[in-house]
């Protein structure tokens, strides 16, 4: 649910705080869940989101079972013994948590505010609001030439897949697409305009709040403090840390 550059902005804030991570592996892992080879109209992906995001068909991101990924692919790893695999999978895990937080704080609020009014105009709310979401991404990468996108992701050849359930070809296909999508200037995305559904101030707030929440969770993980049951590590956060943001989220 969160945007690709949103994930990299969160990773960029976390890297200085989490000692010992492999920067390249963590960066690529932070985008890895959004992998898949699309069909002709981009309505289906291989592998599907049910596989890459550990969720059931028809669910929104609040249904992501991040603890399933953690228990199966991360909890028995050591940063010291295998820094590349650990860093990649930690980035993957944080992506799942970030998607849940984006949906809980921003996605549900946006849907509830705009789904019906946009439907009355014959528009799908997700398609319409994504112009703001990805417009902010384009503006960020073109205004920050030293950001993680350019410095690491765009400048580094594709790395292997460090999870067994997403084929390397699917990851490489999507990583190549993301590089091209943001590196090419496009007036549609960079137009000087208002952002009615999500503006930079709200996006920056989400990036900061999410980085702080993930850092808190990571510190708990280092002390082997994890939920004894349930399907999400967000159970370690206070209610206020996952609460929906009060509108307006954009300029409207």
**pLDDT band at 40; cut points 50, 70, 90:** confident
Relative orientation angle of helices 83-102 and 200-222, to the nearest 10 degrees = 130
pLDDT per residue as tens digits for the range 9-29: 999 999 999 999 999 999 999
pLDDT per residue as tens digits for the range 202-236: 999 999 999 999 999 999 999 999 998 899 999 99
Taken in order 178, 195, 203, 34, is the CA torsion positive or negative?
A: negative
pLDDT at residue number 42: 82
**44 has a pLDDT exceeding 80:** yes
CA dist 115 and 113 (Å) reads 6
CA dist 157 and 175 (Å) reads 10
Q: What's the pTM?
A: 0.97
Nearest to 198 by CA among 79, 68, 107: 107
pLDDT per residue as tens digits for the range 132-190: 999 999 999 999 999 999 999 999 999 999 999 999 999 999 999 999 999 987 888 99
**125 has a pLDDT exceeding 80:** yes
């Amino acid at each position: 649910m969160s945007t690709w550059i949103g994930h990299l902005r969160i990773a960029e804030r976390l890297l200085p705080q989490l000692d010992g991570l492999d920067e390249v592996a963590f960066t690529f892992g932070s985008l890895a869940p959004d992998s898949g080879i699309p069909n002709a109209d981009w309505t289906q992906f291989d592998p599907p989101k049910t596989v890459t995001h550990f969720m059931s068909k028809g669910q929104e991101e609040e249904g992501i079972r991040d603890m399933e990924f953690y228990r199966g692919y991360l909890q028995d790893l050591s940063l010291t013994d295998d820094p590349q695999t650990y860093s990649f999978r930690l980035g993957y895990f944080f992506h799942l948590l970030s998607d849940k937080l984006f949906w809980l704080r921003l996605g549900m609020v946006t849907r509830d505010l705009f789904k019906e009014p946009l439907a009355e105009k014959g528009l799908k709310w997700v398609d319409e609001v994504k112009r703001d979401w990805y417009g902010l991404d384009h503006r960020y990468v073109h205004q920050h030439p030293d950001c993680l996108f350019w410095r690491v992701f765009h400048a580094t050849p594709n790395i292997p897949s460090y999870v067994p359930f997403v084929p390397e070809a699917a990851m490489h296909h999507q990583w190549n697409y993301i590089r091209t999508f943001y590196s090419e200037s496009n007036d549609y995305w960079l137009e000087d305009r208002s952002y009615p559904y999500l503006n930079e101030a709200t996006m920056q707030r989400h990036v900061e709040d999410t980085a702080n929440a993930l850092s808190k969770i990571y510190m708990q993980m280092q002390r082997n403090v994890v939920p004894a049951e349930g399907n999400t590590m967000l159970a370690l956060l206070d209610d206020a840390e996952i609460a929906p943001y009060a509108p307006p989220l954009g300029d409207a």
